[in-house]
């Protein structure tokens, strides 16, 4: 079935109301085997386009994943990128910042990990945490080592959105396509997934007590996401609010968005010139 992934895109300056954005939509697949077939086709094309991205060597792609716990970031990354040559793709996770990272501005740690030309970079969490978890827990802001007169909670979030939007525009002007996914999970579905992590022994390792504590801040997180999505979604570097209650459907939407982005890049395999061809033939005859 055709996937209208653009329906999930956030328009620049849109006033996002997450209650009006679906956490579940009618599946784009008819059955589990249909899902597998569709995902396999996406993965195959993704792998081919990644080879072209690498050979062309001028563009890069940065995919950012943000979500509440248990929304399926890790699974989506694993399944969607499963066919891509590991040499052309790098996944980086960003957790609580280290002491060294806190000695720098909030874009420093991620900027060091940006994908080089020809590569796909994936951020599992990102600099967006600095306007999400840090906004929900303002005490974190105070522990970031900023000069006291620069910590003004009335202005700092707007300033940070501006820093992010400027940085992403800069990346876009320099050949990096940035695409951001917010996996939109319902609070009920999160509860179901946490219960499964407690009840099923082979999922116990995924469960963390801290996740339940963060769940209590759900409305504050939703507010922080709503504020950030519209302000930092641009034509070049859009946000997608992906319904995440159905993991399979989410993976199809995400892979569709990535495919469309890659298809839209002007890329070609380096051409072999006549001279090069002749040289190759000479070498061939010497073998
Ligand atoms: P999983 O739970 O699937 O292993 P995760 O991404 O949730 O993956 P955790 O170790 O559970 O990993 O959580 C990382 C935590 O780090 C998150 O709660 C996130 O909000 C927090 N974090 C990330 N960046 C920052 C930041 N800049 N400041 C403070 N906390 C941050
Ligand atoms: Mg977690």
| Ligand 1 pocket test target in 92, 133, 190 with most atoms within 8 Å of CB | 133
Residue 276 lies in a domain: no
**276 band by pLDDT with thresholds 50, 70 and 90:** very high
Per-residue pLDDT tens over the stretch 18-63: 999 999 999 999 999 999 999 999 999 999 999 999 999 999 999 9
Contacts of 250 (CB under 8 A, 6+ apart): 72, 76, 183, 242, 243, 244
In 3-state terms, the chain is what percent helix, strand and coil (to 5)? Answer: 55, 10, 35
- Of the chain, the percentage scoring pLDDT greater than 70 comes to 100
* Residue 143 predicted with pLDDT over 90: yes
Q: How far is the CA of 69 from the centre of ligand 2 (A)?
A: 5
**285 band by pLDDT with thresholds 50, 70 and 90:** very high
Residue 281 lies in a domain: no
Instruction: Give the pLDDT of residue 185.
Output: 98
Residue 242 lies in a domain: yes
Q: How far is the CA of 283 from the centre of ligand 2 (A)?
A: 55
Tell which atom from ligand 1 comes closest to the C-alpha of 137. Answer: 29
Residue 131 lies in a domain: yes
Per-residue pLDDT tens over the stretch 157-182: 999 999 999 999 999 999 999 999 99
Average pLDDT over residues 103-131: 98
Report the interhelical angle of 73-80 vs 247-264 (nearest 10°): 50
Contact residues of ligand 1, CB 6 A cut-off: 69, 74, 94-97, 124-125, 129-130, 133-134, 140, 208
Instruction: Give the pLDDT of residue 1.
Output: 80
CA distances from 68 to 189, 260, 271 (A): 11, 26, 46
**220 band by pLDDT with thresholds 50, 70 and 90:** very high
Residue 254 lies in a domain: yes
Q: Which two tokens stand for residue 128?
A: 């967006």
Residue 277 lies in a domain: no
Question: In terms of residue numbers, what domain contains 40?
Answer: 5-268
Beginning with the edge strand found earlier in the chain, give each strand of the sheet holding 89-93 in spatial order: 89-93, 120-124, 60-67, 176-184, 239-243
β-bridge pairing 176-184 and 60-67: parallel
The total domain count for the chain is 1
* Residues 157, 232 contacting (CB under 8 angstroms): no
Residue 282 lies in a domain: no
Positions of E strands within 40-119: 60-67, 89-93
Query: What's the burial of 38, exposed, middle or buried (CB within 10 Å: 0-12/13-18/19+)?
Result: buried
- Name the helix (H) or strand (E) containing 55: helix 32-56
Mean pLDDT score of the chain, rounded to an integer? 97
Tell which atom from ligand 1 comes closest to the C-alpha of 74. Answer: 3
Average pLDDT over residues 248-254: 98
Tally DSSP H helices, then E strands, for the chain: 12, 5
Domain of 82: which CATH number? 3.40.50.300
Q: Which two tokens stand for residue 71?
A: 């929304």
Per-residue pLDDT tens over the stretch 202-219: 999 999 999 999 999 999
Residue 76 lies in a domain: yes
- Name the helix (H) or strand (E) containing 239: strand 239-243
- Of the chain, the percentage scoring pLDDT greater than 90 comes to 98
* Residue 256 predicted with pLDDT over 90: yes
Nearest CA to ligand 1 atom 7: 69
Average pLDDT over residues 271-279: 93
């Amino acid at each position: 079935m055709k996937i209208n992934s653009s329906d999930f895109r956030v328009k620049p300056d849109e006033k996002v109301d997450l209650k009006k954005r679906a956490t579940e939509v009618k599946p784009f697949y008819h059955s589990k085997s249909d899902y597998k077939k569709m995902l396999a086709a996406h993965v195959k094309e993704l792998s081919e386009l990644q080879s072209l991205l690498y050979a062309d060597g001028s563009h890069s792609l940065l995919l950012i994943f943000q979500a509440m716990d248990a929304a399926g970031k890790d699974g989506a990354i694993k399944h969607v990128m499963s066919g891509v040559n590991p040499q052309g793709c790098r996944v980086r996770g960003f957790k609580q910042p280290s002491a060294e990272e806190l000695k720098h501005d909030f874009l420093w740690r991620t900027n060091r990990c940006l994908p080089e030309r020809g590569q796909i970079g994936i951020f599992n969490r990102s600099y967006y945490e600095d306007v999400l978890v840090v906004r929900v827990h303002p005490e974190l802001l105070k522990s970031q080592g900023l000069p006291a007169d620069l910590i003004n909670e009335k202005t700092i979030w707007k300033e940070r959105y501006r820093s992010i939007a400027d940085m992403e525009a800069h990346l876009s002007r320099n050949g990096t396509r940035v695409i951001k996914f917010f996996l939109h999970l319902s609070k009920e579905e999160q509860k179901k997934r946490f219960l499964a992590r407690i009840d099923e022994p082979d999922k116990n390792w995924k469960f963390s007590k801290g996740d339940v504590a963060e769940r209590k801040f759900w409305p504050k997180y939703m507010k922080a996401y709503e504020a950030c999505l519209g302000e930092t979604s641009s034509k070049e570097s859009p946000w997608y609010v992906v319904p995440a209650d159905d993991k399979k459907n989410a993976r199809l939407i995400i892979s569709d968005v990535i495919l469309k982005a890659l298809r839209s890049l002007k890329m070609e395999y380096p051409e072999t010139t006549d001279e090069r061809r002749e040289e190759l033939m000479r070498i061939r005859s010497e073998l």
